Amino acid sequence: MSEKTPGISFQNRMDNIVDDYRELGNLAIRLNGDVVKLLENYDESVHKSISAGSSTLDIKTINLERVCIRFMATEQPLAKDLLFIESMLRVISHIKRVGHLCAKIADSIRNIHEVPIPEKILNQMALMGEYIGVMLKKSFSVFLNHDLDKARELDRDDDKIDELYDSILNEVTSTMINDAEFAPYIIDTIFLARYMERIADKAVSIGSRTIFMITLKRPGIDE
Amino acid sequence: MKSFLSPGTSHKIMNSVLIFSGVLTISVLVIILAFILIEGLPAIDLEFIFGGVKDQGRSGGIFPVIVSSLYVTLISVLIAAPLGVGAAIYVVEYAENRKLVNIIRFGAETLASIPSIVFGLFGFAFFVMFLKMGWSVFSAGLVLAIMAIPTIFQVVEVSLRSVPSTYKEGSYGLGATKWQTICNVILPAAIPGIVTGIILAMTRAISEAAAVMYTVGSSVSMPISMFDPGRPLPLHLYILATEGISLQNAFATAAVLVIIVMVITFLTNYFTQRYQNKMMGNL
Amino acid sequence: MYRITAEHLNTYFGDAHILKDISLKVAENTVMALIGPSGCGKSTFLRSINRMNDLIASFKLEGTLLLDGNDIYSKNMDVVDLRRRVGMVFQKPNPFPKSIFENVAYGLRIHGNDDEDYIAQRVEESLKSAAIWDEVKDKLDQSALGLSGGQQQRLCIARTIANNPEVILMDEPCSALDPISTLKIEDLIHELKKDYTIVIVTHNMQQASRVSDFTSFFLNGELIESEKTEKLFVSPKEKKTEEYITGRFG
């Protein structure tokens, strides 16, 4: 069978959108990786690079949104293409949020980096960060590849994050009771964990959106 | 290869050549008309037009001759128009057999190319002698009709074919029958072409001398019945000139003939143009 | 209720098998769009409904094609009445070289109406239904060929409506029109479907998605998919449909 392609302009624009999307995804993954590094060892330059990265992500997202809108206006995609572009707009807005959350996490780390946070909490956070990195990668590629099965896995992956989050909260609570000095830093520590947990939620959302894109049904609700 | 002339120069030369051809065509027409009218008009007065022929045409008028001309022309058109138009409608709208269409077309072309004197001879042998119609305006009208049919057929066929098929589709789509479509859509749209064909045939018929020579007789009295003999304008003109009766009156007769043909042509052009404009919404 | 029902419809032009086993239903007061590449048979299907294909001698049809349950191709079907009940609007606006009034009155006259008052009333109603009355009411006696292309097409729709049809077939009615005229025709289609069942052939998928309730995709004489328009353009069932509407067709 001959190779079937839409118009050249259509395909080029679509390729460009996918390239831009990959760039956004890679940037978000890098920010998350930097966050994990920052947790281990606070470094002001890394902190700044995360904040700057988050802003860059913002601008790139808006630009890609413009590209998508122009694409819809001029090429009028239908069916699979229409659903992909529409979902693209949602997904990149999730990616943008990931950037915001990383910036907030970096701020929280700065507030507590001189405090002797118990090793156990730090380890669990680092584990969480790495796990989130895997989830992000997975969600970004799941969307690009219309991978229904892997998209469904993301919801289960999130259970592990929730587990870690609960465990961190428990740890924080017990530390707070035993160590009064720690009290002022509780809020930042809790927020930090909470932000990380929300990054994982974003990965789940991207997975859900992928499922919706393929089935036109909300996972777990309509199906 | 480099052209011998520059494009600008060759353009100018061709322009001049083409303008010259155009001017020459018009000039020939103007010269002939002017010549005939200058020679003929002085002899034309009311008596010439409405008077009877006297002394073989040396004096008097040409009224019976004008009437003869109109008479034979009218008869020929009344016979040829329905046949020619009918044949064209058949060929364009009904005939499904391509071979038959080609035969009909070939027949019309052949008929159109036969010299008019041969038609005259045939008319004499067939209508005048065999059918015993005698020398009469009717015999002449029939011969002229036979000559006119191919002209009308050919022009009408072209004009019917040029009616856009979308008109037909529109009409059928509304539930019209074939005959309703032909009468209400195709013929009205083709009328300018049909009229042009008929007028073309008419002006040829009115100018024909050879074909009527053997069929209409040569009587200069007023034809009343269809079976009376007559003498149409071209024949009168021919006799006046060849028998050396009166060159002056020959030119006057020619002038009348030319004027009649011109009036017919101008009037029909004017009316078909108006009709076309109204139909096409260009008013 | 279904206005048009095709069951196992096969058509031929001479030896060429054009439509292959088409089964399709068109519900009353809906708009059905037929899409597909050139030569896919959608126009042939359209022209089978009012037997316009009969004008081509080599046309042959097998299977069933029903209008309100009556066989369109039965011996008892009066083609003249069929074409009154199933009006047609063509690709190129084709008003007759007659006055605007006579164009609309044409269908009435050929079907034997000679009550001038009734004709005048129907002409006005039809021109109003076709949303062109205000533009032409002062020049009804002028030639229809003096109108713009978009006006001519709406006049052709009025001409069809005057016959009081049940179904209106449209064969790419906007392909010769500018975008504004196209929009007017599309608005008109939305109005007309209240009273008529419409089947429209279009090459413009945006147009199909804008005006129709149902869309049928034809390919190589086969009906690949017939679905609610919204569904077909968002999540088609058939891969071939998806390939065609997303341009991955070749």
Given CB atoms, is C245 within the 8 Å cutoff of chain A? yes
Considering only the C-alpha atoms of chain A, give the largest distance between any 2 of them, rounded to a whole number of Å.
Answer: 73
Q: What ipTM was reported for this prediction?
A: 0.90
Structure-block tokens of residue A71: 């694409």
Place of tokens 């004017």: B270
C 81-100 → B contacts, CB under 8 A: 81-84, 87-88, 90, 92, 94-98
Of the candidates A4, A77, A81, the beta carbon closest to that of C249 is on A4
Domains and CATH numbers, chain C: 2-245 (3.40.50.300)
Structure-block tokens of residue B66: 């004008």
What is the rounded distance in angstroms from the CA atom of residue B36 to the CA atom of residue B256?
10
Structure-block tokens of residue B72: 């034979």
8 A C-beta contact, residue C237 and residue C225: yes
Nearest to C144 by CA among C88, C104, C87, C177: C104
Given CB atoms, is C148 within the 8 Å cutoff of chain B? no
Q: What element of type H or E holds C7?
A: strand C2-13
What is the rounded distance in angstroms from the CA atom of residue A196 to the CA atom of residue A97?
12
Structure-block tokens of residue C114: 């000679």
Q: Are C159 and B184 an interchain contact pair (Cβ–Cβ within 8 Å)?
A: no
CA distances from B197 to A47, B88, B141, B193, B209 (A): 95, 11, 18, 6, 20
Q: What is the pLDDT of residue A153?
A: 93
Q: What is the pLDDT of residue A117?
A: 81
Pairing between β-strand C70-71 and β-strand C197-201 as defined by DSSP bridges: unpaired
pLDDT digits (tens, 9 = 90+) for B48-82: 888 888 888 788 888 999 999 999 999 999 999 99
- Which spans in C130-228 are helix H? 133-136, 149-162, 179-192, 205-211
Q: What are phi and psi of B81, to 5 degrees?
A: -60, -55
Interface of B with C (CB under 8 A): 96, 164, 166-167, 169-177, 180, 184-185, 188-189, 278-283
8 A C-beta contact, residue B40 and residue B49: no
Name which of B169, B174, B279, B283 to mutate to probe chain C: the one with the most chain C Cβ atoms within 10 A of its Cβ: B174
Size of interface B-C (CB pairs under 8 A): 85
Residue in A with minimal Cα distance to C249: A4
pLDDT digits (tens, 9 = 90+) for C32-88: 999 999 889 999 999 999 999 998 889 999 999 999 999 999 999 999 999 999 999
Q: Are C236 and A81 an interchain contact pair (Cβ–Cβ within 8 Å)?
A: no
Classified as helix, coil or strand, C70 is strand
Positive or negative, the CA dihedral C142, C148, C153, C157 is: negative
Residue in C with minimal Cα distance to A4: C248
Name which of C98, C109, C126, C166 to mutate to probe chain B: the one with the most chain B Cβ atoms within 10 A of its Cβ: C98
8 A C-beta contact, residue B209 and residue B238: yes
* Min Cα–Cα distance to chain B from C97, Å: 5
Classified as helix, coil or strand, B73 is helix
Q: List, for chain C, all residue ranges whose pLDDT scores fall below the cut of 50.
A: none
Given CB atoms, is C235 within the 8 Å cutoff of chain A? yes
Structure-block tokens of residue B21: 């051809």
Of the candidates A2, A3, A78, the beta carbon closest to that of C246 is on A78
Place of tokens 């479907």: C193
Q: What is the pLDDT of residue A119?
A: 85
What is the rounded distance in angstroms from the CA atom of residue B212 to the CA atom of residue B140?
5
Residues of the domain holding A123 = 8-215
**Which residues, listed in sequence order, are joined to residue C143 by a DSSP beta bridge?**
C99
What is the rounded distance in angstroms from the CA atom of residue B232 to the CA atom of residue B203?
13
Pairing between β-strand C214-219 and β-strand B53-54 as defined by DSSP bridges: unpaired
Q: What are phi and psi of C161, to 5 degrees?
A: -65, -35
Q: Is residue A2 part of a domain?
A: no
What is the rounded distance in angstroms from the CA atom of residue C242 to the CA atom of residue C249?
9
* Min Cα–Cα distance to chain C from A65, Å: 21
Positive or negative, the CA dihedral B1, B4, B9, B15 is: negative
8 A C-beta contact, residue B153 and residue B108: yes
Q: Are C52 and B169 an interchain contact pair (Cβ–Cβ within 8 Å)?
A: yes
Could you state, in chain order, the average pLDDT of each consecutive group of 10 residues for chain B (283 residues)?
A: 75 92 94 92 87 83 91 94 95 89 92 91 91 90 94 94 93 94 94 92 91 86 86 90 87 92 92 87 66
Residue type, B205: A
What is the rounded distance in angstroms from the CA atom of residue A141 to the CA atom of residue B163?
63
Q: List, for chain A, all residue ranges whose pLDDT scores fall below the cut of 70.
A: 1-5
DSSP B196-226: HHHHHHHHHHHT--HHHHTTS----SPP-ST
Give burial (CB, 10 Å; 0-12/13-18/19+) of B199.
buried
Q: What is the pLDDT of residue B247?
A: 86
Q: What is the pLDDT of residue A7?
A: 77
Residue in A with minimal Cα distance to C240: A4
Q: Are A80 and C243 an interchain contact pair (Cβ–Cβ within 8 Å)?
A: no
Q: Are C246 and A83 an interchain contact pair (Cβ–Cβ within 8 Å)?
A: no
pLDDT digits (tens, 9 = 90+) for B146-189: 999 999 999 999 999 999 999 999 999 999 999 999 999 999 99
Q: Is residue A168 part of a domain?
A: yes
Given CB atoms, is C160 within the 8 Å cutoff of chain B? yes
Q: How many C-beta neighbours within 10 Å does residue C71 have?
A: 13
In the DSSP assignment, the letter for residue C99 is B
Q: What is the pLDDT of residue C237?
A: 92
In the DSSP assignment, the letter for residue B129 is I
8 A C-beta contact, residue B216 and residue B231: yes
Q: What is the pLDDT of residue A5?
A: 64
pLDDT digits (tens, 9 = 90+) for A7-57: 788 888 999 999 999 999 999 999 999 999 998 889 999 999 999 999 999
Q: Are C233 and A216 an interchain contact pair (Cβ–Cβ within 8 Å)?
A: no
Q: How many C-beta neighbours within 10 Å does residue C242 have?
A: 20
Residue in C with minimal Cα distance to A2: C250
Residue in C with minimal Cα distance to B191: C97
Residue in A with minimal Cα distance to C244: A6
What is the rounded distance in angstroms from the CA atom of residue C164 to the CA atom of residue C192?
12
Q: Is residue A78 part of a domain?
A: yes
Q: Are C94 and B164 an interchain contact pair (Cβ–Cβ within 8 Å)?
A: yes
In the DSSP assignment, the letter for residue A218 is -
The total domain count for chain A is 1
Indicate the length of chain A as a whole number: 223
C 97-116 → B contacts, CB under 8 A: 97-98, 106-107, 109-111
Of the candidates C206, C246, C250, the beta carbon closest to that of A79 is on C246
CATH number at residue A82: 1.20.58.220
Q: How many C-beta neighbours within 10 Å does residue C2 have?
A: 16
pTM of the complete model: 0.80
Residue in A with minimal Cα distance to C207: A76
Structure-block tokens of residue B254: 């020619």
Q: Is residue A223 part of a domain?
A: no
Q: What is the pLDDT of residue A114?
A: 83
